[in-house]
Homo-oligomer: A and B are copies of this chain.
Amino acid sequence: MASRIGKNITVSIFGQSHSAGIGCVIEGIPAGKRIDLDELQAFLTRRAPGGMPWSTPRKEADLPEFLGGIVDGVTCGAPLAAVIRNTNTKSADYDELRRVPRPGHADYVANLKFHGAQDVAGGGHFSGRLTAPLCIAGGIALQLLREQGVEIGAHIANIAGVADDAFVLHGLSAEDIHRAGSKAFPVNNDGSGERMISAIAQAREEGDSVGGIVECAAVGMPAGVGEPMFDGVENAIARVLFGIPAVKGVEFGRGFEASQLRGSQNNDAMRVKNGVVAFESNNAGGANGGITTGEPVVVRCAFKPTPSISKPQHSIDMQALCNEELSVHGRHDPCVVVRAVPVVEAAVALALYDLLLESRMD
């Protein structure tokens, strides 16, 4: 059940890069919720390819049509179904890929798994384009979370080794986490952003690509949300994040760095301040034992560099079973990290909203 996720709010994602459409079915949103469709569209536009130097020249308006679940802008209790038509498809670009897989892509493994019947055009169901319906569902979750005081925002933490100013783990505000999101190039520090843009441009010129890290935080999550063992905050978020193409690592709070610390350094001490429990730090990244502490949930995920590059690479001919050189010439992002920022927000929102619903069972 690869393309579905969630327990209380489930999202089923369908479509391929060059099929008639892509979309999602969302079950579990309570009835009577007003969805701001303009705000949703604005969120989707953050992900849409926009002719920026770091993104694919493929242009898609990405306007979702709701086939069900919403009446006059308000959820009616039935599943939400949204479709985005694929219009700007050039399948001829991909004919060679049926024979010669792109290194770093799913072409080769999809051919094995689906016995040659996979939709090869544009990467088929493996395309980054499938993050658009993820953003529809996540964009709605973001609105529903905000209604409950939870804000989620992300920024590019690193591209090609150039670091942005990180979120502070402790004392992070809603304003802090939204600072980058509204920018065309979503970083906290625009100087870093310019160096990143240069690095992307340079890679592109060389027919190459770069990767990076997205950092995302949720502020306002009430304490006590999440489940022990396999349905904790980290499990839930990680499971969605690894569904975004190119993600190869996920860490929370101090993450891998915490493995080098002493307990006395890493433990988040507690104090009572004005009759309220307060933490003195947030190395945990907002969750202990899988359950929210009330501190911001902070997660970072690593994106590998875009595998589609025009530089010649060693590949094979899967039919003739011989070696081939491959230069990928389709329309690709030299760096997916920029457009991934809202996708990461969407993924985190879906995971947290599902857990927030689950906490009604406590």
A interface residues with partner B (beta carbon < 8 Å): 1-5, 7-8, 10, 12-16, 19-23, 25, 27-28, 30-32, 65-69, 71, 74-81, 83, 101, 103-106, 108-110, 112-119, 124-126, 130, 158, 160-161, 203, 208-213, 223-232, 234-235, 238-240, 242-243, 245, 247-256, 258-272, 275, 277, 280, 283-285, 287-293, 302-309, 311, 313-316, 318, 321-323, 357, 359-362
Contact = CB atoms under 8 A, between A and B. Distances in A.
B126 A228 contact: yes
Q: Report copies per complex.
A: 4
A274 B360 CA distance: 34
Given A108-B270, A266-B304, 20 more contacts: A1-B230, A19-B66, A19-B68, A20-B65, A30-B362, A31-B114, A32-B117, A71-B119, A109-B288, A208-B262, A211-B263, A230-B243, A235-B238, A245-B289, A249-B252, A249-B255, A269-B313, A272-B316, A272-B323, A277-B316
A76 B124 contact: yes
A113 B362 contact: yes
A256 B311 CA distance: 23
Contact of A213 (B8, B113, B256, B261): B256
Given A31-B115, A229-B130, A251-B302, A271 B323 contact: yes
